[in-house]
Amino acid sequence: MSLKGKTAVITGSNSGIGLGVAIELAKAGADVVLNSFTDRDEDHALAAQISADHGVTARYIQADMSKGNECRALIEQAGRCDILVNNAGIQHVAPIDEFPIDKWDAIIAINMSSAFHTTAAALPMMRQAGWGRVVNIASAHGLTASPFKSAYIAAKHGVVGLTKTTALETAEEQITANAICPGYVLTPLVEAQIPATMKEYGKGRDEVVRDVLLARQPSKEFATVEQLGGTTVFLCSDAAAQITGTTISVDGGWTAL
């Protein structure tokens, strides 16, 4: 599948899942726009490296996904958006009655509202081009729940609902909208948490990964950023032209329980 001539905008993509998705899209020939809230030399260097490695145009555009006007400005600055991957997200864990109001507001804004704003800005571009793909990175927690993650779960359920509405509003056009629902993914952030978790539980790495981190993931294996990127590329392919308004779980069987 070649995505040559297409431009993909991936929010929250200077590390982790977003960066992995951007690289897989670039491998498939898409020009890519990376994004995060920072504006560092290394952010722009990432884009330059992707461009050099894969022979595509890659840019980095700073935008704070907690602010609706910046979400929309990101798409406008990109100039073109054939493929929109809404990936930006943050997390906070606390009981509902102790959940900080500012954390709730930030998670809803970044994890859910940003996807609304970028989609609203991107759809006119997709309609003008006569083709488009919206891929929302939701979560297994967009389909199931866990205690102490109220904001994250509310936001990810909201992303799944937004995906369905987007699909219905574009159903008679060459535009699709789908959500990918990962389980636990091995990212640098997760990797960094493992030593502290080992210390907390007094267990070795393999035990902590299997019995603690992947307790709800039946495969007992992490998903990878490459797998999520590959799933995104598939959703952009002609084979997926009639896949719209649905979720694809990449969760090792989590939601089968």
pLDDT per residue rounded down to tens, the chain (257 residues): 799 999 999 999 999 999 999 999 999 999 999 999 999 999 999 999 999 999 999 999 999 999 999 999 999 999 999 999 999 999 999 999 999 999 999 999 999 999 999 999 999 999 999 999 999 999 999 999 999 999 999 999 999 999 999 999 999 999 999 999 999 999 988 999 899 999 999 999 999 999 999 999 999 999 999 999 999 999 999 999 999 999 999 999 999 99
**Is 159 in the same domain as 201?**
no
**Is 115 in the same domain as 217?**
no
Please say whether the beta carbons of 168 and 161 come within 8 A.
Answer: no
**Is 59 in the same domain as 117?**
yes
Question: How many Å apart are CA 64 and CA 61, to the nearest integer?
Answer: 10
Question: How many Å apart are CA 85 and CA 111, to the nearest integer?
Answer: 12
In a domain, 125, yes or no: yes
**Is 71 in the same domain as 101?**
yes
The pLDDT value given to residue 240:
98
**Is 56 in the same domain as 99?**
yes
**Is 137 in the same domain as 194?**
no
The pLDDT value given to residue 222:
97
**Is 153 in the same domain as 214?**
no
In a domain, 97, yes or no: yes
- The tally of domains found in the chain comes to 2
Which amino acid is located at 120 in the chain? A
The pLDDT value given to residue 189:
86
Question: In sequence order, what DSSP letters do the residues of 98-167 get, joined into one string?
Answer: G--HHHHHHHIIIIIIHHHHHHHHHHHHHHHHT-EEEEEE--GGGTS--TT-HHHHHHHHHHHHHHHHHH
Q: Which residue has the tokens 């991107």?
A: 122
Q: Which residue has the tokens 């929309």?
A: 72
**Is 236 in the same domain as 113?**
yes
Which amino acid is located at 19 in the chain? L
Question: How many Å apart are CA 5 and CA 112, to the nearest integer?
Answer: 29
In a domain, 257, yes or no: no
The predicted model scores a pTM of: 0.97
**Is 108 in the same domain as 159?**
yes
Which strands, in side-by-side order, build the sheet including 7-10? 58-62, 31-36, 7-10, 83-86, 132-137, 175-182, 247-250
**Is 206 in the same domain as 227?**
no
**Is 217 in the same domain as 102?**
no
Pick the catalytic residue: 60, 152, 184, 201? 152
Q: Annotated catalytic, 152?
A: yes
In a domain, 255, yes or no: no
Q: Which residue has the tokens 């205690």?
A: 147
The domain spanning residue 233 has which CATH number?
A: 3.40.50.720
Structural domain including 87 reads 7-185+223-250
Q: Taking the alpha carbons of 105, 111, 112, 115 in that order, is the dihedral positive or negative?
A: positive
Say which DSSP state 211 is in: I
